[in-house]
Amino acid sequence: MTHHLRADVVIVGGGIVGGSAALFLRQAGASVILMERDRPGSRASGVNYGGVRRQGRPPEHLPLAQRAHALWANLRSLIGEDGEYVRSGHLKLARSAADMASLEAYAARVENFGLGLQLLDTADLRRLYPMIGDSAIGGSLCPEDGHANPRLVSPAFSRAAAAAGATILDRAPVSDIRITPEGFHVTSAQAEITASAPVLINCAGAWAGELAAGIGDPLPISVIHPLMAVTEPLPPFLTVSIGVEGGGVYGRQVERGNFVFGGGRGFAHPKADARSATTPPDFARPERQAALRLLAQGTGLFPALQGCTIIRSWSGVEAETPDHAPIIGPSRIHPGLFHACGFSGAGFQIGPAVGAVLADLVTTGRSVTPIDAFRPDRFSSPA
Amino acid sequence: MTAAATTSLRPVIVGAGPAGVRAAVTLAAAGLNPVLVDEAARPGGQIYRQPPAGLTRPPEALYGFEAAKARAIHTALAPYAGQIDHYTETLVWNIEHGALDLMNRDASGQPVSTVLPYDSLILATGATDRILPLPGWTRPGVYTLGGAQIALKAQGCGIGKRVVFAGTGPLLYLIAYQYAKAGATVAAVLDTAPFVNRIHALPGLLACPDTLLKGLYYTAWLSLHDVPLHSGVTLREISGPDGTVAALHWRDAKGRDRETACDGIGLGYGLRSETQLADLAGCRFAFNDLHRVWLPERDDAGRTSVAGVYVAGDGAGIAGADAAEAAGERAALALLQDRGLPVDPTRVTALDRRLARFRRFSSALWTAFPVPAGWAHDLPDSMTLCRCEEITVGTLRQTVRTDTPTELNRLKALSRIGMGRCQGRMCGVAAAEVLAHETGRPVSAIARLRPQPPIKPLPAATLPAPVSGEDTP
């Protein structure tokens, strides 16, 4: 027996984007139904590294990141808890003169965006961060970037939205979407619910591509499995969140003392899935070679890790686009449909601002934050 | 990568306890060259654990009635030294895409990880204690039953001078006996299972009369030596000044509050299977109502849902060392059968019959010594449930109120339970019982923690083994 529900907006996906969109739409007075295939914040939003970082994002992404920065500052008033969010600083390291030059060029390019970057030469680095190994020769510090606990923050957005009056349907994977002149009719056979609304937001993470293709508005989304590992708790040795120019490894020490670090990839699990080949897997697992490479990268950068043990590694299921920029904005096919997906491993920091932008788009028809770089139609080649 | 991928690889056995050793010997006797991987330096597993070199207590002192069996397991590999590759002090930390990841140390002590592909794999990974905490259980002086036994067997020392063994299960009486024989004062044996359960279990226990007799002997011996034995008790609290252990508070079967002075406590509620590798290998699991845990599905010979992967011994469901020996041999015979190799059908029939008897016996044991119902009911909020991450019962209850998690992985994500060094191997059972109780759902509906490599802590300095013998032209 299927129940029919109706609202101003149906959101598919209960990650940090869907949760914050639901919250901000409620604050703007819209009625909201959010459908989540498992539990809110249980996929990429909840198992990612937890970097809350603006540094390193392309200049055209920074207005969105700055809007998010302001939202993170008020995290407790938004979601009712601090989510272990700290503005610890984000230090991006250079391991060669060329990397240092690239950090300097970036600092110059984003000078007007207010990140307050501080370039550190080798002497600065040794003096300020003696725990970092000799392979780093310099770096760029963004003092107000930081990190948070995604396991706590992401589910809390959906909880806050529920408290604000949104209907959060969990364990409600979408099985069918019908489009009529009245709007979108989204059915979850498992939850025995059809939710109808004139507006549909697709923030279904790794599953967003499948959803979009199902309604004739395909998006170039592929699925990736970033790899992370964590050590046993260690005495405090590092406050800043660390990245490396050119990528490969990133790490932070959490409040409890564990060092969380990531880099490389995992693989889909289970591999053989009875469902359609286009459906992303529910879970992923670290890939052995990548895991051992990550250990080498981590211990290379932080000699303090040499004598400790890794207690767990994990991966997730995340969507990636060809240009590694997210897809945010109205569908070019269906009026009333908005996409917000393809965060390519960098969605956690901007997540709350994407929710705010979606609320803007739905309630006012335009975003006060420039989002041209994220247009869904930027991939389409002219006919 | 090489042609070897399409040919038959050497069978791999994980675990050199009674099941793993018997499996290895059976395969070697049939002409195969198995690889036997184990964390210990010498074969025997936990039950027949050998003391470190230099400690020379005779097997009779270490293993009592089981000395002959222990010796047989310890010496079983030697005749096949040329056929069985025994990788000692080697941790299997992952299984992925038909290969094991092994970690051991090279001559300089550097941890090195090696990939070992398999097409036939026997997992004989054994068990650990099932732990259901009580207030005060984190104090120094409180050990698991297994830990108390290992201290005696491997190190020749006890956990205290005046000790209490508490919880339930046949191990309670065996270890109390071993401690008393070794000279410790056993202040009490406190069994949470009502005595009447043992009477109900008697018909099933008769399936293995020898084992039953030994159990009765230990109990009789303890009684004869004035060791207080109590069943149907409720364990309440461990207390003592300045965080030490001075007394165990308990309630007897008649509901009277009692207290036993002691300086060491061995605690355990039977054993729980080590199943992470079967999980990583992709085996299908089913909830076992009797053991109240998830176990890999298997047929009577040990075949799992994954072709070529077998489970044997306590790692496939608790049944004890004798059953493990039979199951190890049977799994090896199944492997031979599945490879189309000849096996002795009368031996198969005999083993199948023996294993069926062990299954009846083991079922009866769970009837005799069940996990105490309602354990999760009266726990104080302040009690630590997860020692690695220092998570209290109150935190779990708060998480349940905030988010209504219905399964263990969600509870883990939100509360951090099972995220520490033990990865839920120690706290997972108790956490599942608490979650089930708080949400009013059966434990079978709580799911189990998804395994993540490494299954046990891996040195961060671990390097991939240098690739040797590359056959590039």
Contacts of residue A339, defined as CB under 8 A and 6 or more positions apart, other chains included, come to: A201, A202, A203, A208, A212, A219, A327, A328, A329, A330, A331, A376
Six token digits for residue A162: 């529920």
Contacts of A316 in chain B (CB under 8 A): none
> Are residues B430 and B385 in contact, defined by beta-carbon separation less than 8 angstroms?
yes
Q: Which of A286, A320, A354 is the last residue of a domain?
A: A320
> In terms of pTM, does the model score above 0.90?
yes
Query: For residue B79, what are its two tokens?
Result: 């005749």
Query: What residues in chain A have their Cβ under 8 A from chain B's Cβ atoms?
Result: 39, 42, 46-47, 151-152, 155, 159, 231-232, 256, 267, 270-271, 283, 285-289, 291-292, 295-296, 298-299, 305-314
> Is the torsion defined by CA of B383, B451, B37, B340 positive or negative?
positive
Is A285 in Cβ contact with B453 (below 8 Å)? yes
Taking CB atoms and an 8 Å limit, are B452 and A305 in contact across chains? no
Choose one of B311, B342, B373: the last residue of a domain.
Answer: B342
Closest-CA residue of chain A to B463: A292
Residues A94 and A7 occupy one common structural domain? no
Mutate to test the interface with A, among B439, B458, B463 (most CBs of A within 10 A): B458
Give a yes or no: residue B204 inside a domain: yes
CATH number at residue A205: 3.50.50.60
Can you say whether the dihedral through the CA atoms of A346, A350, A356, A357 is positive or negative? negative
Per-residue pLDDT of A93-137, as tens digits, reads 999 999 999 999 999 999 999 999 999 999 999 999 999 999 999
Please answer yes or no on whether B460 and A46 come within 8 Å at the CB atom.
no
Q: Among B226, B254, B269, identify where a domain stops.
A: B269
Is B358 part of a structural domain of the chain?
A: no
Asked if residue A240 lies in contact with residue A90, where contact means CB atoms within 8 angstroms, the answer is yes
Q: Please name the residues in contact with A335: beta carbons below 8 A apart, sequence gap of 6 or more.
A: none
Higher pLDDT pick, B235 / B64:
B235
Same domain, residue pair B253 and B278:
no
Residues B234 and B291 in one domain: no
| Structure tokens belonging to residue A242 | 């660390």
Domain that holds residue B284: 8-128+272-342
pLDDT per residue as tens digits for the range B285-312? 999 998 889 999 999 999 999 999 999 9
Q: A–B: how many Cβ contacts below 8 A?
A: 86
In a domain, A83, yes or no: no
Q: A315 and A346, same structural domain? A: no
Both B250 and B319 in a single domain? no
Least Cα distance to B281 among B155, B391, B422, B123 occurs for: B123
Contact of B261 with B238, CB cutoff 8 Å: no
Please answer yes or no on whether A310 and B460 come within 8 Å at the CB atom. Answer: yes
Residue B401 predicted with pLDDT over 50: yes
For A135-153, give one letter per residue: b (16+ CB within 10 A) or e: ebbbbbbbbbbbbbbbbbb
Residue A141 sits in a domain of what CATH number?
3.30.9.10
Given a cut of 50, is residue B473 above it in pLDDT?
Answer: no
pLDDT at B6: 43
Question: Which residues on adjacent β-strands are paired with residue A194?
Answer: A4, A187
CA distance B387 to B421: 9
B453/A256 CB distance under 8 A: no
Q: How confident is the model at residue A277 (pLDDT cuts 50, 70, 90)?
A: low
Q: Residue B20 pLDDT > 80, yes or no?
A: yes
How near does any CA of chain B get to the CA of A32, in Å?
20
Look at residue B272 in the predicted model and tell me its pLDDT: 95
Chain B neighbors of A309, CB-CB under 8 A = 421, 457-460
Residue of A nearest to B101 (CA): A288
Same domain, B17 and B124: yes
What is the token pair recorded at B30?
């049939």
Transcribe A156-168 into DSSP letters: HHHHHHHHTT-EE
Looking at the fold, whether B232 and B141 belong to one and the same domain comes out as: yes
Find the CB nearest B410 among A42, A283, A296. A42
Query: Do residue B156 and residue B236 come from a single domain?
Result: yes
Residue B24: inside a domain: yes
Of A45-49, A233-237, A245-249, B359-363, the poorest mean pLDDT is in A245-249
Rounded Cα distance, B473 and A133, in Å = 39
**For a pLDDT cut of 70, what percent of chain B falls above it?**
97
Least confident of A125-139, B51-65, B159-173, B396-410: B51-65
Beta-bridge partner residues of A285: A267
Closest CA to B380 of B246, B192, B249: B249
Residues of A in contact with B389 (CB under 8 A): 256
In a domain, A167, yes or no: yes
How far apart (Å, rounded) are the C-alpha atoms in residues B187 and A374?
72
Partner residue facing B94 (CB), from A288, A298, A311 = A288
Chain A partners of B463 at a C-beta cutoff of 8 Å? 292, 295-296
**pLDDT, tens digit, for every residue of B75-128?**
999 999 999 999 999 999 999 999 999 999 999 999 999 999 999 999 999 999
pLDDT, tens digit, 9 for 90 and up, residues A187-201: 999 999 999 999 999
For residue A103, the distance in angstroms to the closest alpha carbon of chain B comes to 29
Same domain for A134 and A13: no
Residues A100, A229: one domain? yes
Residue B141 in any domain: the answer is yes
Same domain, B260 and B171: yes
B440, part of any domain: yes
CA pair distance A255, B416, nearest whole angstrom: 13
In this structure, the answer to whether residues A187 and A241 fall within a common structural domain is no
Does B335 share its domain with B398?
no
Distance from CA of A14 to the nearest CA of B (A): 14
Given A297, A320, A343, the domain boundary residue is A320
Least CB-CB distance to A313: which of B410, B452, B461? B452
CB contact under 8 A, A310 and B461: no
Contacts of A291 in chain B (CB under 8 A): 94, 453
Q: Give residue A45's domain range.
A: 3-50+151-220+324-379
φ, ψ for residue A267 (rounded to 5)?
A: -135, 160
Per-residue pLDDT, B472: 38
Q: Do B34 and B135 share a structural domain? A: no
Question: What percentage of residues in chain A have a pLDDT greater than 90?
Answer: 91
In this structure, is residue A70 part of a structural domain? no
Residue in B389, B450, B457 closest to A310 by CB: B457
CATH of the domain at B190: 3.50.50.60
Cross-chain Cβ contact A159/B461 below 8 Å: no
For residues B179-208, average pLDDT: 94
CA dist B99 and B118 (Å) reads: 6
Q: Same domain, yes or no, for A169 and A312?
A: no
Mean pLDDT of B185-213: 94
Residues A316 and A236 in one domain: yes
Query: Which H or E run contains A127?
Result: helix A122-128
Q: Are residues B103 and B157 in the same domain?
A: no
Q: Is the separation of the CB atoms in B117 and B105 below 8 Å?
A: no
Residue A79 in domain: no
Helix B195-205 vs helix B345-368: crossing angle, to nearest 10: 170
Residue B372 Cα distances to A70, B197, B260, B367, B430, angstroms: 52, 12, 21, 11, 12
Q: Are residues A136 and A244 in the same domain?
A: yes
Are B62 and B175 contained in the same domain?
no
Q: Which pLDDT score is estimated for B468?
A: 58
Mean pLDDT for B429-434 is: 95
Q: Is the ipTM of this complex over 0.90?
A: yes
- A273 band by pLDDT with thresholds 50, 70 and 90: very low
Burial B91-121 (b: 16+ CB within 10 A, else e): bbbbbbebbbbbbbeeeeeebbbebbebbbb
Evaluate whether residue A68 is within a structural domain: no
Q: What is the CATH number of the domain that holds B431?
A: 1.10.10.1100
Kindly report the nearest CA distance between residue A280 and chain B, in angstroms: 18
* B453 is a domain residue: no
Q: What pLDDT, in 10s, does the model give residues B22-60?
A: 999 999 999 999 999 999 999 999 999 988 887 777 888
Residues A336, A342, A346, A347: is their CA dihedral positive or negative?
A: positive
For residue B95, give how far its alpha carbon lies from the nearest alpha carbon of chain A (Å). Answer: 9
Using pLDDT thresholds of 50, 70 and 90, give the confidence band for residue B61. Answer: confident
Considering only CB atoms, which chain B residues are within 8 Å of A271? 97
Q: Among B311, B327, B342, where does a domain finish?
A: B342
Test mutation, A293, A311, A314, chain B, max B CBs within 10 A: A311
Q: Are residues A113 and A195 in the same domain?
A: no
A352 burial (CB, 10 Å; 0-12 / 13-18 / 19+) is: buried
Name the residue of chain B whose CA is nearest to A45's CA.
B413
Which runs of consecutive H residues, i.e. helices, occur in A1-96?
A: 16-27, 44-47, 62-73, 75-79
Residue of B nearest to A231 (CA): B460
A377, two tokens: 């139609």
Return mean pLDDT, chain A: 95
Average pLDDT over chain B reads 93
Query: Residue B358 carries which side chain, given as an amino acid letter?
Result: F
- Using DSSP bridges, classify how beta strands B91-96 and B99-105 pair: parallel, antiparallel or unpaired: antiparallel
Contact residues on chain B for A36, CB-CB shorter than 8 A = none
Angle at which helix B18-29 crosses helix B321-338, to 10 degrees, equals 30
Cβ atoms A350, A65 nearer than 8 A: yes
- Residues A214 and A238 reside in one and the same domain: no
- The domain total for chain A is 2
Same domain as B115, residue B38:
yes
**Do the domain assignments include residue B394?**
yes
For chain B, what is the domain count?
A: 3
Structural domain contains residue A34: yes
A198 and A344 together in one domain = yes
The three-class DSSP label of residue B309 is strand
User: Does residue B98 lie within any of the structural domains?
Assistant: yes
pLDDT at B64: 84
pLDDT digits (tens, 9 = 90+) for B446-470: 999 998 999 999 999 999 988 654 4
pLDDT number for residue A276: 53
Mean pLDDT, rounded, for B2-28: 85
**Residue A81 domain flag:** no
Task: Tell whether A235 and A267 lie within a shared domain.
Answer: yes
Q: Judge whether A346 lies within some domain.
A: yes
Question: Does the pLDDT at position A279 exceed 90?
Answer: no
- pLDDT, tens digit, for every residue of B321-333? 999 999 999 999 9
The answer on pLDDT for B392 being more than 70 is yes
